[in-house]
Amino acid sequence: MVSLPDNPSPRVVVIGVGNLLMKDEGIGIHALEALQAIALPPDVRLIDGGTSPDLISYTQAGDKLIIIDAAKAGGEPGAIYRFRPEDLAVEKGVLTSAHELGVVQNLSLMSLLGNKPAETIIIGIEPKEIDPGLELSPELQQRLPAIVKVVLKEIGLR
């Protein structure tokens, strides 16, 4: 577990989730890489969550958590969705993500431990291709600047 300071000020933690070896499944990581090229305030922390994000290690009470991940919700490829954790309820069947269950379990455990972020937002991106490959589909590559803009707005920068 990561050691955190005793009285840190609230911060924003952005976790990109995905598998870079499966084309659009890696959109969260690609978006995170694009955010790394931008000068962000020191209270914004960018984390590569890979395929199994350990939210507990990187967030604490008071933080705003933003998760970027591929999400199949039935829209056009590249559609950008904004969800809250309660929208991820598996029984609702509204959203499917390869990492949905891990995120829900992490947030539930964080709540039990009194370590739940003040706010959690999930930015889901409708994939086109989830097949072996390192590149995003042309549709998602084209939407990457819009995805970054949505995340920057969530951070409070634009």
∠ CA(63), CA(3), CA(69), 5° rounding? 45
- Rounded Cα gap, residues 47 and 63, in angstroms: 14
Question: For 136-145, what is the mean pLDDT?
Answer: 96
Q: Where are the domains of the chain?
A: 15-155
In the prediction, which pLDDT does 68 show?
94
How do residues 19-28 score in pLDDT, each as one tens digit?
999 999 999 9
Give pTM, 2 decimals: 0.82
CATH 3.40.50.720 fits 15-155, yes or no: no
Residue with the bigger pLDDT between 123 and 86: it is 123
Question: For 8-17, what is the mean pLDDT?
Answer: 81
∠ CA(23), CA(27), CA(31), 5° rounding? 140
Question: For 134-140, what is the mean pLDDT?
Answer: 95
Rg of the chain over Cα atoms, rounded to whole angstroms, equals: 15
In the prediction, which pLDDT does 157 show?
86
% residues pLDDT > 70 (the chain): 71
CA nearest to 78, candidates 18, 9, 129: 129
Binned at pLDDT 50, 70 and 90, residue 142 comes out as very high
In the prediction, which pLDDT does 104 show?
66
| 4: pLDDT strictly greater than 50 | no
Three-state DSSP class for residue 109: helix
Q: Look-up: residue for tokens 């705003």?
A: 64
Three-state DSSP class for residue 66: strand
Work out the mean pLDDT of the chain and round it to a whole number. 82
Question: For 14-23, what is the mean pLDDT?
Answer: 92
Binned at pLDDT 50, 70 and 90, residue 8 comes out as low
How do residues 35-77 score in pLDDT, each as one tens digit?
999 999 999 999 888 876 666 666 776 789 999 999 988 899 9
